[in-house]
């Protein structure tokens, strides 16, 4: 029992650690545009070209997306050093952009989907409880009582149990082979 609890706690901690975002950078799509976000103010480059996409530094870069825009992008920035003694070393943050866009589409966040599923489960459970309470209130005596079958009219009863209409099985006339049919003799 204890090993199962330890495993559950470890799995929960690993899931919590995995959901923490390390960098504030990323790519997001909205309809026909995509936006890249650099961790800090920087210059934007496409592929390995040395020519910047913009003349000035910015934290985000937005553009219309088509197949020609697919590829490797980078943002070169100089992080703020915590002390003035260390020289600031430029860092490069890379993005690979590839996606499908359309005018009437939008990206769904995983949390939104999770909330929709959880709300749906609770609403369905509420409807089930309401129907159960309504059905129980309608029949306050509890479960339905079984009723006796009506008495059969005289003269309309079925044949007696050992019916003369049916012939008894005989061991001499039965075939012992699998899937065989009964062959009657004389």
> Could you read off the pLDDT tens digit of each residue along the chain, which spans 186 residues?
567 777 777 776 666 665 555 556 777 777 888 888 888 888 888 877 666 777 777 788 888 888 788 888 888 888 776 666 677 788 888 888 888 888 887 667 788 899 999 999 999 999 999 999 988 887 655 555 566 666 655 556 665 666 667 767 677 766 677 766 655 555
In the CATH scheme, what is the code of domain 22-97?
A: 2.60.40.10
Q: Is 75 helix (H, G, I), strand (E, B) or coil?
A: strand
| Confidence (pLDDT) at 115 | 94
| Confidence (pLDDT) at 124 | 97
| Confidence (pLDDT) at 58 | 79
Looking at residue 67, what DSSP letter applies?
Answer: G
Q: Cα 11 to chain center, whole Å? A: 19
Is the whole-model pTM more than 0.75?
no
Cβ contacts of residue 61 below 8 Å, gap of 6+? Answer: 35, 36, 38, 44, 53, 54, 73, 75
Structural domain spans, the chain: 22-97, 108-141
Asked if residue 37 lies in contact with residue 95, where contact means CB atoms within 8 angstroms, the answer is no
For residues 177 and 173, what is the distance between their CA atoms, to the nearest angstrom? 12
């Amino acid at each position: 029992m204890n090993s199962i609890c330890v495993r559950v706690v470890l799995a929960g901690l690993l899931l919590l650690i995995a959901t923490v975002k390390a960098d504030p950078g990323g790519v997001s799509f909205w309809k026909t545009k995509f936006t890249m976000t650099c961790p800090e103010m920087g210059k934007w480059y496409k592929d390995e070209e040395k020519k910047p996409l913009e003349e000035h530094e910015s934290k985000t870069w937005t553009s219309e997306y088509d197949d020609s825009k697919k590829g490797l992008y980078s943002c070169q920035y100089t992080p703020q050093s915590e002390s003035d003694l260390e020289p600031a070393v430029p860092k490069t943050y890379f993005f690979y952009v590839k996606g499908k866009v359309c005018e009437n589409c939008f990206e769904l966040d995983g949390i939104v989907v999770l909330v929709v599923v959880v709300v749906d489960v609770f609403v369905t459970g509420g409807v089930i409880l309401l129907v159960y309470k309504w059905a129980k209130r309608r029949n306050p005596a509890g479960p339905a009582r079984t009723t006796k079958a009506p008495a059969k009219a005289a003269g309309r009863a079925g044949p007696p149990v050992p019916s003369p209409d049916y012939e008894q099985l005989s061991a001499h006339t039965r075939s012992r082979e699998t899937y065989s049919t009964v062959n009657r003799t004389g």
